[in-house]
Amino acid sequence: MEKFKIIDAHTHCLETADLKAEFKWFDNNFDKKVRRHVDYLRHNKINKAVVYILDENAFAMNCRLYQNLIFALLIDFRQLRALDNIRKAKNSGFKGIKILTYEQQVEKKDYQLILKIAREIEKQKMFLTICATFGGADPYQYDALALARYLLQKGYQADMVLAHSGGSRIKEAALIAGSSPNVYFDTSFTTAYWRGSSVISDLAGAINEFPSRYFFGSDSPNIKFTQAKRDSLALLKGSTLRIKNNFFYNNAFNFLKKYE
């Protein structure tokens, strides 16, 4: 396996995948959980990782205590205290805010409210991550790409990360990149879930078309880091060494240094 400096741009601070546990993550053991995540980086020779915390109460933690971890927090945009929680998260050292379009059941009627959240994210000089995959019985009911387009059309100018690169809608997501230089993508989960399908060739084409806009992400522990790396190397088999180095490290490094 080829060796690269690596930033894992999409991780979760759990030993095993458990969405219910993530929503109740902040407890008396949160520091031990984070320390274990530091060990995860060291074990896999990862230089840095973006950690997504889905328990809004975690704004009370001090993110600055943990080297090489960059934290982003899920916000319940429907709460009256949402804007205040963004400010508290910034003061605690969180660098980004996340919206889960499927789990939070984001519909068109919510877009204007999320725009208010996005304005506060801009003001606090944070980045916004939108979970940009989809599924369920009606996959277009909670449409992440429609939300992203709405925010951008309304003038959102801060950095936006479309997590999972759009899932099976890679090409549609990449079109957003063509018109919006503030939009980035991580490949978490997608490379494993769509392995062997035409989605992977679409993703490889998008990365080669926009070589500075895509980050490697594992989505661990949902996908093991080693598996995510193998899938990503297969994805980029026909790409240049420069594109591979950018994908695994340089793009995320240049993105994250804006938030130091």
Q: At 1, is the pLDDT very low, low, confident or very high (cuts 50, 70, 90)? A: low
Catalogue the E-assigned strands of the chain.
Answer: 7-12, 48-53, 69-74, 96-99, 127-131, 160-163, 183-186, 214-215
- Is residue 148 within 8 Å of residue 132, measured between CB atoms? yes
Spatial distance between the Cα atoms of 6 and 260, rounded to a whole number of angstroms: 18
Average pLDDT over residues 151-173: 96
| Residue 188, amino acid | S
Average pLDDT over residues 22-29: 97
pLDDT tens figures, 170-204:
999 999 999 999 999 999 999 999 999 999 999 99
pLDDT tens figures, 44-56:
999 999 999 999 9
Closest by Cα among 183, 186, 252, 185 to 217 = 186
Query: Residue 136: what pLDDT?
Result: 66
Q: Is the pTM of this model over 0.75?
A: yes
Spatial distance between the Cα atoms of 258 and 260, rounded to a whole number of angstroms: 6
Average pLDDT, the chain: 95
Q: Angle 144-153/111-123 helices, nearest 10 degrees?
A: 60
**Residue listed under structure tokens 């387009």:** 149
pLDDT tens figures, 55-103:
999 999 999 999 999 999 999 999 999 999 999 999 999 999 999 999 9
**Which residue ranges form the domains of the chain, and what is each CATH number?**
7-259 (3.20.20.140)
- Is residue 101 within 8 Å of residue 78, measured between CB atoms? no
Q: Quote the distance between the C-alpha of residue 37 and its chain's center.
A: 17
Q: Positive or negative CA dihedral for 164, 170, 172, 173?
A: positive
Return the biggest CA–CA distance within the chain.
Answer: 49
Question: Over pLDDT 90: what percentage of the chain?
Answer: 95
Give the ranges where 194-245 is alpha helix by DSSP (H).
Answer: 198-209, 225-235, 241-245
